[in-house]
């Protein structure tokens, strides 16, 4: 995949990032809604202290995000013959995202969340969302959207803080799409 194609996809993807809305409603996630606008089973984190703890606890995200990234690698491998292409796409979104670091860290400070932990969590979601958006563009038969759905939550002003499985059996999503019914997404 050439540089121009990746740049073109990045330019399209940027329209999905509503930085002005980010973290504006943290702590106000509605406990009950008639119809949940997200495919997750969502649970509200009530206190700032708990939100900080959830965001800082890598174990609450790491397994799901690692499996999601492995799945994306496999999708790129199958679609392009080059799974490592995720690294090429990742470099483009990293440069773009980190160019907004000062603005984002200011928003995080205003929200009273832990700056570095929250910045890394936001970056991880945006990275995953861009990779999903890209593979969906590269192969129209592929539809993957875990991080794109997390990005919708961020764009709505809330902060996804972690995931817990409904059962003790941790499901491996590295070989198959994410199963939204397998657990709960915690949102602040």
pLDDT of residue 59: 65
* Chain segment 41-88, per-residue pLDDT in tens: 999 999 999 999 988 886 666 677 778 888 899 899 988 888 888 999
* Chain segment 78-114, per-residue pLDDT in tens: 888 888 889 999 999 999 999 999 999 999 999 999 9
What is the total count of domains within the chain? Answer: 1
- Is residue 40 in some structural domain? yes
35 exposure class (CB count in 10 Å sphere: 0-12, 13-18, 19+): exposed
Can you tell me the mean pLDDT for 34-41?
80
- Is residue 21 in some structural domain? no
- Is residue 54 in some structural domain? yes
- Is residue 147 in some structural domain? yes
Q: Which residues of 112-136 are buried (b: 16+ CB within 10 A; e: fewer)?
A: ebbeebbbebbbbbbbbbbbbbbbb
- Is residue 9 in some structural domain? no
Residue 172: give the domain boundaries.
36-187
- Is residue 135 in some structural domain? yes
- Is residue 146 in some structural domain? yes
């Amino acid at each position: 995949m050439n540089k121009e194609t990746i740049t073109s996809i990045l330019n399209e993807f940027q329209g999905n990032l509503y930085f002005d809305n980010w973290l504006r409603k943290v702590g106000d996630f509605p406990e009950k809604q008639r119809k949940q606008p997200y495919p997750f089973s969502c649970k509200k984190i009530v206190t700032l202290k708990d939100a900080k703890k959830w965001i800082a606890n890598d174990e609450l995200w790491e397994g799901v995000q690692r499996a999601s990234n492995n799945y994306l690698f496999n999708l790129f491998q199958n679609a392009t013959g080059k799974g490592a292409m995720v690294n090429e796409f990742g470099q483009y979104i990293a440069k773009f995202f980190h160019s907004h670091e000062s603005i984002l860290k200011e928003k995080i400070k205003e929200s009273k969340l832990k700056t570095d932990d929250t910045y890394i969590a936001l970056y991880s979601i945006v990275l995953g969302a861009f990779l999903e958006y890209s593979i969906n563009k590269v192969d129209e038969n592929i539809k993957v959207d875990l991080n794109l759905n997390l990005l919708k939550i961020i764009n709505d002003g809330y902060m996804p803080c972690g995931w817990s499985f409904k059962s003790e059996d941790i499901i491996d999503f590295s070989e198959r799409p994410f199963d939204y019914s397998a657990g709960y997404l915690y949102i602040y």
